[in-house]
Amino acid sequence: MTMMTRLLTLLALVLTLPLAPRVAMAQAGNYAPVITVNGLGITDYEISQREKFLKLLGTPQSTREDAEKALIEDRLRTWAGKQLGMKMNEEALTRGMSEFASRGNLSTEQFITLLGQNGIDPNTFRDFVAAGVIWREVVRARFAPLINVTSADVDRAMMPESQTGKGVKVLISEAIVPAPAGQEAAALAQARQLSAAKGEGAFAALARKYSAAPTRDRGGRLEWMPIDKLPAQLRGPILALKPGTATGPIQLNGAVAVFMLRAIGDGDAPSAPQDLSYMTLNLGATGSAQAAKLAAQAAADARVCNQLYTVAKGLPESAITLHEKVAQSAVPTDEALVLAQLDPGETQILRRGGSDVLVMLCSREVADTKDQPAPDRKTVRSSLEDQALGAYATGYLADLEAEAVIVRK
């Protein structure tokens, strides 16, 4: 159930399908409007139904206030469709309902049954999809003529680096607790404290105290990151989290890691498998003068991987290693976690046991797989147009809300 509801949550973010105004009037009780938006009513019954629906999907924003806000936006979308004289296409509605349910490996009928088991009116689902279908048509009618995707735009989008990291994105915090030989038990105890932390503030305080990662001074906070950039073995545990909760301790090479999910978002289609080319340079003992000197030299002189050979001059040959076109799934977890945060030419220090290891990303490429061919130009152009429409839609909805007459009774 947890996995199914999370898939539906992600789909809801991608489709941005709102609830529509229709409600089962046969239900006894609170169906008189308590809010009107440009004359379109929202009932207390609808608000309670939307709140239940959000909770079933596992959406973080699922309070009554969140339901009210979403329904107000629904009315604005519906009102915009009315202004253009748009009517619902039943065939498109049926396809949309089937598509939504199928992302949870359910038929439309199975999903409706699930709703009923959780006290949710089937019309809530129907109208949820219906409003999304209307809104798409509104946005296309108003803004499609303004979009001009050029051949150069398509060329850039088809470059391997631009294809990386599309799909679900996560906002996480990390804590990497060193576990040198003989101190494994103490490191694990500290990691368990991090795993038990409730909320971002508590986790950040412990990360500053225990983590050895470069992010420790900002409480372990990382920027938005496509889930595809993370090591495959970390994606499942992170996606299984609710915002504000942390994973259990994860064993790395000479360290124990804990991750907290702060938020989850959507992007475009998932990226293909990746091949990573990168270099590692053993700088020496953590805290040593040699390690500090080599790290400073790399920061000043190395902009591409080959320049690290100059930094490593005089060191044993085994100190520097080129890892060329390694499947992402084959990269050691601690190195893969660092590489996920880097663009080509960037470096980061990895503390492994008692040593500092400099990691530089040389390139990230889409893997050549027979079962997942690269998208063609038509598909890429369509994706770029959809992105542009999405940006217009966000601004248009904000304008509609600013100009709307909203009355609470």
DSSP letter assigned to residue 221: B
Which segments of 248-302 are extended strands (E)? 250-252, 255-265, 274-285
Which segments of 220-270 are extended strands (E)? 225-226, 250-252, 255-265
Cα gap 394→75, rounded to integer Å: 15
Q: What is the pLDDT of residue 128?
A: 80
Asked if residue 355 lies in contact with residue 319, where contact means CB atoms within 8 angstroms, the answer is: no
Cα gap 101→93, rounded to integer Å: 12
Which segments of 157-246 are extended strands (E)? 169-178, 225-226
DSSP letter assigned to residue 38: T
Asked if residue 255 lies in contact with residue 210, where contact means CB atoms within 8 angstroms, the answer is: no
Cα gap 372→21, rounded to integer Å: 41
Q: What is the pLDDT of residue 370?
A: 54
User: How would DSSP label each residue in 107-121?
Assistant: -HHHHHHHHHHTT--
Dig out the tokens for 202 from the structure. Answer: 């508590």
In the block, which residue shows the tokens 């009355």?
407
Q: What is the pLDDT of residue 1?
A: 41
Strand partners, 33: 43
In the block, which residue shows the tokens 């009517």?
87
Asked if residue 274 lies in contact with residue 364, where contact means CB atoms within 8 angstroms, the answer is: yes
Residue 255 neighbours by CB distance under 10 Å: 26
Q: What is the pLDDT along the chain (409 residues), one digit of tens a residue?
A: 444 444 444 334 333 333 333 333 334 446 789 999 999 999 999 999 989 988 887 776 789 998 899 889 988 998 999 999 998 889 999 998 898 888 778 899 999 999 999 999 998 888 788 888 899 999 999 999 998 888 877 776 665 445 444 567 889 999 999 988 788 889 899 999 999 998 899 999 999 999 999 899 999 999 988 888 888 778 878 887 888 999 988 888 788 999 999 988 765 444 567 788 999 999 999 889 999 999 999 999 999 999 999 999 999 999 999 999 888 888 888 898 899 888 889 999 988 877 899 999 998 877 765 555 556 778 778 878 887 888 888 889 889 999 999 999 8
Global pTM reads 0.46
Cα gap 75→42, rounded to integer Å: 8
Dig out the tokens for 200 from the structure. Answer: 């971002």
